[in-house]
Amino acid sequence: MPWYRRILFPFSWVYAMIVYMRNRFYDWGWFSSQTYDFPLIGIGNLSVGGTGKTPMVEYVLRELAQFRVAMLSRGYGRNTKGFVRAHEGTSILDIGDEPFQIHQKFPEVTVAVDGDRRHGIATLRNDSELEALVLDDVYQHRKVKPGLLILLTMYGDLYVDDGYLPSGNLRDHKKEAGRAHVVIVTKCPEDLEAQEKELIRQKLALQQNQRLLFSHLQYDDRVVGPNGKVPLDTLKTPFCLVTGIANPEPLVRYLKEKGHEFEHLVYADHHYFSDAEVEQFNAKELVLTTEKDYVRLKGRVKNLYALGIRHAFSTDDARWFSNTLQSYVKDGA
């Protein structure tokens, strides 16, 4: 923990007490939480970011490709307010970077944003053909109670080992992990041994009705660029890597393991790239970035390439997760 965050530790106790009491008010019924007789799949985490929510939303949408599914998000960083449904002319400023990424990759999926999740759900439910709704980053939104709630926590930075804001990264109380139906440890080593999985299982101490899964990152072997898709290994090195995500370390490690040489320019999550920064990028021979940053830089940087990423599971975990998702939707909640 950096020294400047250590001095904020007393404030973390105050923050922890506030989020703890807020959750108790929902548990006691002092604040209302609405349930639905409709398949709602919620995806979220207890920390401020870096667990891979957007790739997990994509994973769930691929698993439910046979159904008519919509995705609802808050739309962080957008310039609009209220309910906005993505359409052909929608821009990243209308719905935010992550929903825009989903909209671009899954044109058959209805993508919408609304700061009022209840209102957003009610509006989307007007589509009588809709069979399920995926809620992005919904864990702290207690006004809505998904029928299937998925909690993500990152390998090497489990929520049980983290502290509360502002000295730590937790934005919700650790006890709230008990509300999840499925807990997924993301960004694991691909060859994670059974013994270490068991140690993590013991550390998380989940309830009997909760399922623990382990996923690892799987990068595409091709990148999207000005001339379509080309093999990653054909990119000229050294190149410039630009990241504006919560945790770029897995990507940096992967590229180094592949033998690539690069300059890494690091920006905060959801960073809006200024004209001066774009001018700097355009002076580079080649710029590689993430899919989330790509939707913010496309059309502004001429020599831009994006590397896709997705979650992957063991055969048994993938089969269980797929069956659970599809059975939940088929049963209609």
Annotated binding residues: 47-54
The Cα–Cα gap between 313 and 321 comes to: 9
The Cα–Cα gap between 256 and 238 comes to: 11
What stretch of H or E contains 222? strand 211-225
The Cα–Cα gap between 172 and 94 comes to: 28
Angle (CA) 220-211-114 rounded to 5° is 65
Strand, helix or coil for residue 316: helix
Beta strand 304-313 pairing with 287-290: parallel
User: Which runs of consecutive H residues, i.e. helices, occur in 80-153?
Assistant: 92-95, 97-105, 117-124
Residues within the annotated binding site for ATP?
A: 47-54
The Cα–Cα gap between 38 and 23 comes to: 24
